[in-house]
Structure 1
């Protein structure tokens, strides 16, 4: 039921290559919405070719907030996203428009809707210890260790998702409790909006995989390799930074270091993107379900979403 006492807001969530941008533009053509990007890679300036960032012409026609707000040398957290998004939503609502949040970083959506648990701060010494153990035994072995300590968190992480496995193990060690338990205790901090959340999920993952392959090839043609070279010259970067952990950028960096050739770089990039999409789909299916899901492969997707939004906004 629509809560007429609260201003409306719309969320469009989905895996990479699911058509989120096209759906958002279809809504912007019909309704008084203003877009907010929910993408942990598009926050970085100068990272364009490998992030599927809208080009200048598209941004001029369909402005997005929270794009190009930090340098690749910096980090951007879910907590900062929540603060930035809430501030942007307040401004959009005050202007008489509807916030439309679009992206594939499901953790950001979750932090916005459910708040953030009081988790311990990072411990550099402990992280180094975990990294050393991973170097010796491998991240799948560290994932197995996490499964003993926090089976719920381990179940939603890929055995090679080093960044999240490291953080979950760190929290277990520092707090003496599973991260999933701490997250469950966080009180609901849903913002004061009437939300319509839309999930875009593929009816056939094989077709989505073909889209991903085509998109990665387009990124290479757009100059991903050259962009990484430019970034390395312009900024003080390393592979441990969140910007260089982004899919495509890590593979291009390693190719430039001579770890493998260009064909293998392409194959690794496509594989990593498919794994990212798999994690996004898992999050949407189990951890953060939408109010309503649509088949992202449906040719009529933008129109169907527009019709659903019309029913929501005019109820």
Structure 2
């Protein structure tokens, strides 16, 4: 069998606060790479501190792609991401550089690496109807409705994940078929035309990950996260929005909790605890998704740096390493 001659890319995957950004920057500088963000919060302008968006200094060090593409009140889908990221990867490869895909949004990775199934497109009227139902009945009730028609999808979606509950019910109501049924079909777009090394960065000790999450949340507060949220609330498009917390951008962890705190719903201490807890829950969901990526290699970035470097070197030299689970 002839050798695979496709260009290469590296995917640095992992839960939030696992060290993906720092390693992506380091490897991009060392190996002539450019970073493609795979993070659903980083596509939005004005969400900088709370999303841990790369700083201007970091962007000056290494070119970054798929950042700041939408305002927080504007829609952006996994299909939009797949198209934008694919163009970025193709452009990077055309310049003879190394694409480094870095982030923790599983749906975005799946859309980019495997394509999306040909399910119904978003329908503004149906979404408005579902949002109205949620205001009247609650997203937990709609989640129960989803569980009745599509238990498989409901098991993957948290009862407070309004965006995915809405999408699953939207698909079912428009087509009469569950989103799980649609996803079982072959993807409508070809896979990304590169060979991808999937590396998962995940501390073996979950208490260490929790410590890193707590530290980063406190650092964001020190950097002015609350002022960032106050500025968002003062934006006319968000100030006048009937249900701003239903917007995907503001459902990002930290932002929802900060918004509710500024509405007077929690004390400062309660807000901080809720923000840390929500981030830990996000990390748990990310790890659950990553365990389904059977061709990914897992490393503790603090304890297995030599092994991590060896896996990268083997791949970049054209040798396939043994998968570690």
Question: CA-atom RMSD, angstroms?
Answer: 2.2
Partner of 2:5: 5
Tell me, yes or no, if structure 1 residue 272 matches structure 2 residue 275.
no
Partner of 2:263: 257
Partner of 1:116: 116
Partner of 1:294: 299
Aligned positions of 1:1-315 closer than 5 A: 3-131=3-131, 134=134, 138-187=138-187, 189-237=190-238, 238-286=244-292, 288-296=293-301, 298-301=302-305, 303-315=306-318
CA–CA distance in 1 between the matches of 2:25 and 2:192? 24
Segments of structure 1 that go 5 or more residues without pairing to the other structure are none
Indicate if the aligned counterparts of 1:73 and 1:243 stay in contact, CA closer than 8 A.
yes
CA–CA distance in 1 between the matches of 2:78 and 2:3? 27
Indicate if the aligned counterparts of 1:23 and 1:305 stay in contact, CA closer than 8 A.
no
CA–CA distance in 2 between the matches of 1:51 and 1:308? 29
Displacement of 1:3 after TM fit? 4.6
CA–CA distance in 1 between the matches of 2:158 and 2:141? 12
When structure 1 is superposed on structure 2, of 195-204 and 244-253 the one drifting more is 195-204
Displacement of 1:72 after TM fit? 2.1
Indicate if the aligned counterparts of 2:162 and 2:246 stay in contact, CA closer than 8 A.
no
CA–CA distance in 2 between the matches of 1:101 and 1:52? 16
Runs (4+) of structure 1 exceeding 6 A deviation are none
Displacement of 1:191 after TM fit? 1.6
CA–CA distance in 1 between the matches of 2:75 and 2:133? 25
**Cα separation, partners in 2 of 1:35 and 1:282, compared to 1, 3 Å:** same
CA–CA distance in 2 between the matches of 1:211 and 1:290? 26
Question: What is the TM-score of this pair, normalised by structure 2?
Answer: 0.88
Indicate if the aligned counterparts of 2:50 and 2:225 stay in contact, CA closer than 8 A.
yes
* Corresponding residue SS for 1:236: helix
Question: What is the TM-score of this pair, normalised by structure 1?
Answer: 0.90
CA–CA distance in 2 between the matches of 1:282 and 1:224? 28
Indicate if the aligned counterparts of 1:283 and 1:289 stay in contact, CA closer than 8 A.
no
- If asked which structure has higher relative contact order (CA below 8 Å, sep 6+), I would say 1
Indicate if the aligned counterparts of 1:27 and 1:306 stay in contact, CA closer than 8 A.
no
Q: How many residues align?
A: 312
**Cα separation, partners in 2 of 1:3 and 1:246, compared to 1, 3 Å:** farther
- CA-to-aligned-CA distance 1:4-59 (integer Å, 9 cap, x gap): 32111111111101111122123224312211111111122222110111211122
CA–CA distance in 2 between the matches of 1:210 and 1:235? 37
- CA-to-aligned-CA distance 1:105-142 (integer Å, 9 cap, x gap): 11111001111122223345544554555556554443
**Cα separation, partners in 2 of 1:274 and 1:313, compared to 1, 3 Å:** same
CA–CA distance in 1 between the matches of 2:138 and 2:274? 19
**Cα separation, partners in 2 of 1:270 and 1:225, compared to 1, 3 Å:** same
Segments of structure 2 that go 5 or more residues without pairing to the other structure are 239-243, 319-325
CA–CA distance in 1 between the matches of 2:59 and 2:308? 21
* Corresponding residue SS for 1:37: strand
CA–CA distance in 1 between the matches of 2:133 and 2:2? 51
When structure 1 is superposed on structure 2, of 178-187 and 232-241 the one drifting more is 232-241
**Cα separation, partners in 2 of 1:20 and 1:235, compared to 1, 3 Å:** farther
